[in-house]
Amino acid sequence: MGSFYTSHTLRGPDQEAVLAHMRERRAFVSRQEDGNLTVLDESTECQDPQVLGALAHSLSAVFACPVLAVLNHDDNFLYLALYENGAKTDEYNSNPAAFSEDDEDGFGVPQGGDAARLCAAFGAADVAAVEAVLRDDSFMMAVERHERLAEALGLPPFSVGLGYNYAEADDGVPENCYTPSAAAA
């Protein structure tokens, strides 16, 4: 069985501001590393791209920053949505045929993903490296693609392979990662 997780990585805002904004939600918020921090939100663990996108939209609009929303479904596919200043500006699906009846083996060609836009949003320089990760069809597990993408974009290592449910079960909560309720205490 593969991984199931969601996360949101923000470029710009500090942990205290995001904790304050998330105070009514069950979530973990990492400390900022190289300008990025990651939010692990309980409600997005339902694996619904609309729920994932609603939080990304809100965070991006409130903090006027880029937010990369990530959904890994059973390591069969990696879904990404980039929001900038409250608007969805890019979308990517590593395996759009995963739930299609048209494709017998359940694998398809990755769709979407603008490497240049992702690099610009997160301050990464190597557009070719990001493009290679997005188009590479040799990944056996979506978490591997996510790890390589995070490396290419310069995102924190703890933004990969960890969602709220895994963190809640204490499967590797990043050091200096807090819940909004813990910050208020």
DSSP string, 20-56: HHTTTS-EEEPPPBTTEEEEEEGGGGG--HHHHHHHH
Domain limits for position 96: 4-176
Q: 70 near 94, Cβ under 8 Å? A: no
For residue 152, pLDDT beyond 70: yes
Q: What pLDDT sits at residue 109?
A: 83
Domain membership of residue 182 (yes or no) is no
For residue 149, pLDDT beyond 90: yes
For residue 106, pLDDT beyond 70: no
Q: CA distances (Å), 152 to each of 14, 50, 148, 168, 171, in order?
A: 22, 26, 6, 28, 25
Q: What pLDDT sits at residue 2?
A: 84
d(CA 82, CA 69): 6
Domain membership of residue 184 (yes or no) is no
Q: 51, 49, 25, 29: which is closest to 40 by C-alpha? A: 29
Domain membership of residue 162 (yes or no) is yes
Q: 19 near 29, Cβ under 8 Å? A: yes
Q: Which two tokens stand for residue 110?
A: 């990755």
Q: 73 near 79, Cβ under 8 Å? A: yes
Helix (H, G, I), strand (E, B) or coil at 77: strand
Domain membership of residue 143 (yes or no) is yes
Domain membership of residue 159 (yes or no) is yes
For residue 174, pLDDT beyond 70: no
For residue 87, pLDDT beyond 80: yes
For residue 100, pLDDT beyond 80: no
For residue 168, pLDDT beyond 80: yes
Domain membership of residue 62 (yes or no) is yes
Could you tell me the pTM of the whole model? 0.90
Domain membership of residue 86 (yes or no) is yes
Domain membership of residue 185 (yes or no) is no
Q: What pLDDT sits at residue 185?
A: 41
In the predicted model, what is the mean pLDDT of residues 93-108?
67
For residue 183, pLDDT beyond 50: no
**Tally of domains in the chain:** 1
